[in-house]
């Protein structure tokens, strides 16, 4: 039998969290820094009325040929789509996160000086009905979930670490230009002009805008993992803030 979606999320949060907390703990220890590191298995609240539930878009799991995909769709009621010429895959909803259940626990640990690994993979999608939570099959965008967590723990900075040093316009084209600092308004304009690819840079820029917009003085930085230390002192990365 297939493993239900929320359980898949919880399992991957747990095992990836273990690898991260061990690696970060080892690195801190090797530098003589005594700082506790912990992973919080995180539930992310989405709305059952989110339009995403009527329009699943996030491809997940294995690739199938058309015949097999049609059979699975008929048997299980899944939505199957053709993905980038590589075969057919199941698509699931990608609703917007609007709350994080463990925010108080995460904030308490952060305030106590712990390194906290949380909201892995966007978090486990749950729906709140009254005082009761229940898991729902969906995949939450990790950038939006991270922005929401940063907002809820009242962070000043959100760093989204990726594979490029800076956000660029005309990416991969002759007029390519890297951006150092842009306002939320400028970012919005570039998004609507179609400068960022929906599956890769667009959600990062949108999540950065959402965080920067949530309160004056909040900054979002999109930078490369390798140059994160430089991004922290403003020498790499793209900073997005309110104008």
- Kindly report, residue by residue over 192-231, the tens digit of the pLDDT: 999 998 878 999 999 999 999 999 999 999 999 999 999 9
Question: 3-state SS string over the chain?
Answer: CCCCHHHHHHHHHHHHHHHHHHHHHHHHHHCCCCCCEEECCCEEEECCCCHHHHCCCEEEEEEECHHHHHHHHHHHCCEEEECCCCCEEEEECCCCCCEECCHHHHHHHHHCCCEEECCHHHCEEEEEECCEEEECCCCCCHHHHHHHHHHHCCCCEEEEEECCCCCEECCCCCCCEECCEEEHHHHHHHHHCCCCCCCCHHHHHHHHHHHHHCCCCCEEEEEECCCHHHHHCCCCCEEEECC
Res 133 pLDDT > 70 = yes
- Kindly report, residue by residue over 58-115, the tens digit of the pLDDT: 888 889 999 999 999 999 888 999 987 889 999 999 999 999 999 999 999 999 999 9
Residue 1 pLDDT level (bands cut at 50, 70, 90): low
pLDDT of res. 243: 82
């Amino acid at each position: 039998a297939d493993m239900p979606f929320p359980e898949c999320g919880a399992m991957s949060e747990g095992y990836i969290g273990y690898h991260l907390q061990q690696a970060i703990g080892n690195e801190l220890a090797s530098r003589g820094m005594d700082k506790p590191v912990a992973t919080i298995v995180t539930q992310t609240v989405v709305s059952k009325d989110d339009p995403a539930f009527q329009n699943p878009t996030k491809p997940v799991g294995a690739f199938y040929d058309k015949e097999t995909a049609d059979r699975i769709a008929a048997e299980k009621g899944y939505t199957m789509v053709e993905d980038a010429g590589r075969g057919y895959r199941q698509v699931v909803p990608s609703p917007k996160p609007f709350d994080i259940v463990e925010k108080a626990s995460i904030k308490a640990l952060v305030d106590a000086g712990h390194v906290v690994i949380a909201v892995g993979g966007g978090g486990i999608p749950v729906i709140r009905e009254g005082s009761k939570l229940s898991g729902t099959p969906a995949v939450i965008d990790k950038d939006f979930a991270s922005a929401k967590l940063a907002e809820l723990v009242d962070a000043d900075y959100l760093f989204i670490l990726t594979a490029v040093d800076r956000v660029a316009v005309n990416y991969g084209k002759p007029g390519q230009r890297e951006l150092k600092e842009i306002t939320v308004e400028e970012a919005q304009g570039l998004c609507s002009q179609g400068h960022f690819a929906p599956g890769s840079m667009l959600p990062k820029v949108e999540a950065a805008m959402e965080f920067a917009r949530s309160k004056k003085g909040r900054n979002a930085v999109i930078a490369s993992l390798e140059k994160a230390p430089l991004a922290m002192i403003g020498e790499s990365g793209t900073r997005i803030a309110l104008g």
